[in-house]
Amino acid sequence: MIKRRPVLRAVAELLNAANGVRPLAREGYPTIPVFAFGWPTSEMSALYLAGSMADAVRRGIRGDFRGTRGRIALALTAVSWALLGLIHRRNASSQPHFEDPLRAALGADYQEIAEKAKAKRRRRIGIPPNDLIRRRYVEKAGTVQYGPHGGANRADIWRRADLPRDGKAPVLLQVPGGAWSIGMRRPQAYPLLSHLADHGWVCVSIDYRVSPRNTWPDHIIDVKRALAWIKENIAEYGGDPDFVAISGGSAGGHLSALAALTPDDPLFQPGFEDADTSVVAAVPIYGRYDWVTVHGNGRREFIAFLQKFVVKLPFRSNRAVYLDASPIHRLRADAPPFFVLHGRDDSIIPVPEGREFAEALREVSTSPVVYAEIPHAQHAFDFYYGSPRAHYTAQAVEEFLSWVQATRAAAPREQAG
């Protein structure tokens, strides 16, 4: 006979909910399980709450909540429900934390300016306003090979089925995360990709070579190869090779920021040095931007990980390699517009990483730098379709990139006038 432990189970549920409210660890290796358990709770809290309540009904009918221990278990479970409700309310009310930074950096009329680009896309597609129906996959125009390294150099192309092949749609390259050792394009950033594709974009989601089988800088070289492929081929899918933006989360945030700050850099383009790898805008999300600093939560563990699995070179005697790989040390005045997003409760990459990168870039770049710090958000807050934060992320990124598109289109007219 299976021995039931309702109090122990209730305590486990309560700890999990508390971890979703605020991560229980922020330093060292414990941050990994804290994230693994905390992310589903913080981003899928409504689903988690519904499942917990349904299971409590089942266990109540079974008699788990009888007696003193049962009543204690039920009380603890009710507290965990209250915490899950708090998590969901915080998630649902986070939209201003995406919009306000855009308004502060781009101006109070940024949405009106962005709407000009959106209206132009609607006319090209041939549909009226407010008739953009959300589809999960829109259309995947097949998997393409963008580089010479087999399955590691494959990409999915996302587009509306009714997008004209001569549509000159804006293009986004999505670079997946995974600690430079996973890098799977599926199912990362699906809420963003489907949202943009529905709104007339062409999106390219890539795989790239990962560690420990491959060694830095293979990762960024593949991202550059993908950019070069897009510039040469995306017009066949209705995309505009003159408007290519880049985004990515976690390791993808690092790679997208580095790619945006090193256009046409021969160090990362061996054999295709003459290819155009510039981008018009970058949206790195909860990325690692500094491979050099050893001070701060988790920094020593991170450098040790890079030395052993990614760069595979001693840090002390190869500091230049780590500097070259650090976006915060590759800042430039002619950087494209940046929209940097980071969760304040990120237990994998602490929020100072994003904050310090955005501040440093803002001091150097002549282009707008938007920084959105999302309260209570864990790592990977943009993954899940049902998460309000994922929806707000997709909306905010589209507004930012549409603003960039509209202002770039207006610039030649102003110069001509």
- The answer to whether 250 is a known catalytic residue is yes
- The answer to whether 376 is a known catalytic residue is no
Return the closest-CA partner of residue 34 out of 53, 51, 13, 19: 19
For the chain, give me the number of helices (H) and strands (E)? 13, 8
Long-range contacts, 16-25 (Cβ 8 Å, 24+): 16/41, 16/80, 17/41, 17/79, 17/80, 17/81, 17/83, 17/84, 17/87, 18/83, 20/45, 20/83, 20/84, 20/87, 21/83, 21/86, 21/87, 21/376, 22/345, 22/376, 23/345, 23/347, 23/378, 25/347
Q: Could you tell me the two tokens for 268?
A: 């990362």
Which 3 state secondary structure label does DSSP give 371?
strand
Answer positive or negative: Cα dihedral of 169, 109, 91, 131. Answer: negative
Return the closest-CA partner of residue 394 out of 381, 409, 375: 381
Return the closest-CA partner of residue 245 out of 389, 405, 132: 405
- The answer to whether 329 is a known catalytic residue is no
Catalytic residue among 97, 219, 376, 379: 379
Element at 355 (helix H, strand E)? helix 352-364
Answer positive or negative: Cα dihedral of 158, 398, 164, 416. Answer: negative
CB atoms within 10 A of CB 58: 10
Catalytic residue among 80, 247, 250, 347: 250
Catalytic residue among 346, 382, 387, 402: 346
Q: Are 374 and 98 in contact (CB under 8 A)?
A: yes
The backbone torsions φ and ψ at residue 241, rounded to the nearest 5 degrees and listed phi first, read -65, -15
Answer positive or negative: Cα dihedral of 37, 380, 229, 140. Answer: positive
- Indicate which residues carry an active-site annotation: 250, 346, 379
